[in-house]
Copies of this chain bind each other. A is one copy, B any other.
Amino acid sequence: MSIQPTTSKGAATRELIVDRAYAIACRDGLEGLSIGDLAHAVGMSKSGVFAHFGSREGLQLAVLESAATRFGEAVLIPAVRARRGLARVRAMGQGWFDWVRDNRQGCLIHGAIGEFDARPGPLHDAVVALMQRWRDATSRAINMAVEIGDLRSDTDAAQMSFEIFGIALALHTDIRLFEPETARVHADRALERLLASQSP
């Protein structure tokens, strides 16, 4: 007996297309992603690929959404499995650093920020919403740490989230432009200094 497919044929190929598109866009950015290249990469026709998304923008949105999901599963979910408090905050930072290290081709989200931060449109809005979600999650973890007593009560969660974000961005850049190992050491030290500065 054959196993019933949990997804239709169309949804399955769409998923395959998005996966392949994600890999391409990690290196070349969402703007560097063309339907022709993508079609060739998955062994389909341009129109076949196109039909799944209705427009190039639809494809970009789907890929960005996929990236958000991957990031959530690779960083956020493992972090909330960590103990509340300082451990979880540290897990979020370290998880992000690991994510940056593992995506050597480039982080799609990081690229999307640069591509759409100054250009209004659905992509811009999606990037803002995505980043807002991540920053909120970080702030919540920080506030929990404050409540538990792992961090000082005058800790500004938004401020600390901002700084963690900055460390991750600098790491992302340095890993590609300079020495990856040195960059990681810098990031780890920066995070520990930041956490220690608000230690009770």
Residue of B127, B170, B178 touching A169 (CB-CB under 8 A) = B170
A-B contact pairs, 5 of them (CB 8 A): A156-B189, A158-B182, A163-B186, A163-B193, A169-B169
Residue of B27, B28, B131, B186 touching A159 (CB-CB under 8 A) = B186
- A117:B197 contact, CB within 8 angstroms: no
List residues 19-70 of chain A with CB under 8 A from any CB of chain B: 27-29, 31-32
Known contacts A31-B32, A115-B29; decide if A190 and B166 are in contact (CB<8 Å). yes
CA distance A105 to B119 in the complex (A): 9
Query: Smallest distance from the beta carbon of A108 to chain B beta carbons, Å?
Result: 11
- A: residues with CB less than 8 A from B are 27-29, 31-32, 105-106, 110-111, 113-115, 117-119, 127-128, 131-132, 156, 158-159, 162-163, 165-171, 173-174, 176-178, 182-183, 186-187, 189-190, 193, 197
Query: Smallest distance from the beta carbon of A22 to chain B beta carbons, Å?
Result: 14
Q: Which residues of B contact A173 (CB under 8 A)?
A: 113, 117, 131, 165, 169
Query: Smallest distance from the beta carbon of A34 to chain B beta carbons, Å?
Result: 12
CA distance A102 to B83 in the complex (A): 42
Q: Which residues of B contact A29 (CB under 8 A)?
A: 31, 114-115
Q: Which residues of B contact A183 (CB under 8 A)?
A: 162
CA distance A170 to B135 in the complex (A): 12
Query: Smallest distance from the beta carbon of A1 to chain B beta carbons, Å?
Result: 47
- A158:B186 contact, CB within 8 angstroms: yes
Q: Which residues of B contact A118 (CB under 8 A)?
A: 27, 105-106, 176
- A163:B159 contact, CB within 8 angstroms: no
- A165:B176 contact, CB within 8 angstroms: no
Known contacts A165-B170, A166-B166, A167-B163; decide if A177 and B113 are in contact (CB<8 Å). yes
Residue of B156, B163, B186 touching A162 (CB-CB under 8 A) = B186
Q: A114-B114, A165-B174 are in contact. List 16 more A-B contacts (CB 8 A).
A: A27-B119, A29-B31, A31-B32, A105-B118, A113-B114, A117-B173, A118-B176, A131-B177, A158-B182, A159-B190, A162-B170, A162-B174, A162-B183, A162-B187, A163-B193, A169-B170
